[in-house]
Structure formats: C-alpha cells, structure tokens
Amino acid sequence: MNNEFFSFELIKTDPETGARAGILHTPHGDILTPVYMPVGTQATVKGLLPKDLKELGSQIILSNTYHLHMRPGDELIARAGGLHKFMNWDKPILTDSGGFQVFSLASLNNITDEGVRFSSHVDGSKHFFTPELAMEIQHNLGSDIIMAFDQCSEYGYTHEQAERAMKRTGAWLERCYAAHNNPKQALFPIVQGNMYEDLRAESLNRCLPFVKHGIAIGGLSVGEPKPLMYEMLDFLQPRLPADVPRYLMGVGSPDCLVEGVLRGVDMFDCVLATRVARNGTALTSRGKVVVRNGAYKEDFSPLDPDCDCYCCKNYTKAYLRHLINAGEMTGAVLLSMHNIAYLHKLMRGLRESILGGYVKDFAKEFYRIQGGE
C-alpha cells in the first residue's frame, strides 16, 4: 500500500518466528526495520543534540502532539516551518496523537464520543481535544508519520469498559481519516482492546479499512505483566497485515524489543533509555548497571565492554558514578548516549540475524549474556 511519498519493502520474514526485516521509505529518508525510535517529547531527546542522535544511529525520532500543542503551540511550530526545521532534525519524525497524555497527564473533566475536555497540566487552562484537532495539530507539526486519536484503556479495565473505549477509538479513527488531507504524512490507525482477544480482533477489523501505510498496537506495556503482553502479540501477529510496518507503542526495554521482534513487530518507541539514564542506570549487553551504586566507586572499566559509543570509549564506571552522585548533567548525557546507542545496536543485531536466518539463536545468546533477564 504505497503512494509517491511512502512505501514499505518487506525484505525477509523468518519462517519460524515471523520476525521481519524491511525498509520504510518516507519523505525524510529511509528507515531500516526493525527499529527503535528515541522519544523527543518536547521536540528534543532529553540531553542530546540532533548531531549526537545521528552519530548514535537514530533513524527516526518521536515527538508528542499533546505537549507541543500545550507549549510552544503547534501553530507557532508551523510558522517556524514545521517540526523538522524547528528542532533542526532532517530525518523522519513520528508524532503520537496526544491521546495517551490527555488521559494520563491532564485533569480530566469529561470523555465523550465527541472528544475529551480536560485541564492542561501546564497551566490549568481548559481544552477540548477531538480527532479533528489531533489531525490539525499534527498537520501543523508536519511530522512524517502521524497517529490516530485513540482512547487507551488502562490495565484492569473490565470487558465492558474496554469495549466502550475500543469502539470509541474506532469511531474516532473514521473521523481522523476524514480530517486527514496531507499525502506527505502517513496516518497509522491504532489497535486497542485491552487484554481481551475478542476486543483486539474487533478493533483490528475496524482498523483494516484505514491501513494505508502502517498499523500500530496500543494499550500494551501499561502495567500488565510482560507475559500477558506477549500473549496479546501472539494473538495479533497472524492477523496483522503483512505489507505495512507494525508499530508497538511505548515499548523499549531490551527484552521487550527482542520479544516484540520475534512476534513480527517492526517499530518501537519508549522514554526508558533516557529516563533511566537520568537516574544513573545503564542498559548494557551484560544487563542493567546502576552506576550510582558504591560497587563502582573504584571501577575503572568501561560501562559496557561490547559497546563502542563515545561514553564507553572514553569514560569509566567510576567517573560516571561520580557525575551521577554529584548531580552533574554530563552524567545523564553520557548515560543517555550509551543507552540509545545500545538499543540501536541491539536492533541492528536483530535485523542482521533475521537477514542471516539465525534470529532465534540471536535471542538465545541475548538472554544468555544478560543473565536470563
């Protein structure tokens, strides 16, 4: 399902697991999949410059519709020439719909079939988000991939509650497509339905008529046990369209990336890499390293012996521990660099193993080195 601006080449699918390697062509460049997308919520990946991200291997980043609408305002960004020019990033950008933030951050007043009334978490001002407004904001931002406005139901919802949110998401999807008018932006529908297979199947069927360039899976990694998330992915995998990229929203821990790829997912995003970095935690080939711990006070070895990022080539665990415990921002910057570099390297390894026909062996080795995590 292509147009002159977007196309997806599925290069190889692993016959045993369904893991996929492909290329997504966009107006701002090609994306080799599977791919991890760093999150730049406020039009910046915290602590890192665009040149850093390019050197680390970032192919595409994610920004947030809700936050940028609240400040500095999507109309201002449009006047600046769009999000790419505003933040000086010339590679692809994906923006979420703002739905998750509307439901999780804002003080809600009312959710109706028409939209959501809420108070801003920034200044308490009153707002009314609709599917049409979500499209207008993302049109102003000018991102390459935009998301339909959806209602993400929380883990623990009853079947009745989840069904109501799923059907509302389906109705909003129709309105999003009616309002979407820019062929240079690929609109992805989002499969919802909580942890109920029948609702997931119905949501997917509602999405299929609108799947033009990709499809997203939402409402996972929202507090449920990881095995339950994998069960939902196992259920969806054979039912998802094969000719477009599949995006698992909000998932980015190393083990979940591996498990998601083994279940046919192509795209992932998560704030985890930079968030844990700011708390002094590194994601490494040997598992998590909490550098603020006393065990690293006189550890003059690199953070990850298998990593060649700027942080690992130039600094020791002892120095990083000192920076984190002294509250120096450089510590968070260096750990963020490493964490993103590590996740990109992991995804490259997964892609190479799919192309080489050894993805299951790659996953086994990943868990062996990680110590069974």
Give the pair of three-digit tokens for residue 313: 């080539």
C-beta of residue 254 within 8 angstroms of C-beta of residue 346: yes
Burial class (CB in 10 A: 0-12, 13-18, 19+), 3: exposed
Please identify which residue in the block is written with the tokens 């003059």.
Answer: 300
Give the pair of three-digit tokens for residue 167: 């059907």
Query: Which residues lie closer than 8 Å to 141 by C-beta, 6 or more apart?
Result: 63, 65, 68, 74, 77, 78, 82, 83, 93, 95
Q: Could you give the C-alpha distances from 230 to 83, 144, 255, 259, 269, in angstroms and in order?
A: 34, 29, 11, 7, 17
- Among 74, 144, 266, 269, the active-site one is 269
Rounded Cα gap, residues 50 and 55, in angstroms: 9
- Among 74, 96, 150, 266, the active-site one is 96
Nearest to 188 by CA among 354, 37, 349, 15: 37
96 is catalytic: yes
User: Could you give the angle at the alpha carbon of 64 between the alpha carbons of 116 and 83, nearest 5°?
Assistant: 125
Helices (H) and strands (E) in the chain, counts: 15, 17
Neighbouring CB atoms inside 10 A of 332's CB total 21
Neighbouring CB atoms inside 10 A of 236's CB total 24
Q: At what angle do helices 159-179 and 131-141 cross, to 10 degrees?
A: 50
Neighbouring CB atoms inside 10 A of 155's CB total 16
Q: How many residues appear in the chain? A: 373
Phi, psi of 36 (to 5 degrees): -100, 135
- State yes or no: cis peptide before 302, omega within 30 of 0: no
Q: Could you give the C-alpha distances from 38 to 41, 133, 206, in angstroms and in order?
A: 9, 25, 29
Q: Which residues are catalytic?
A: 96, 269
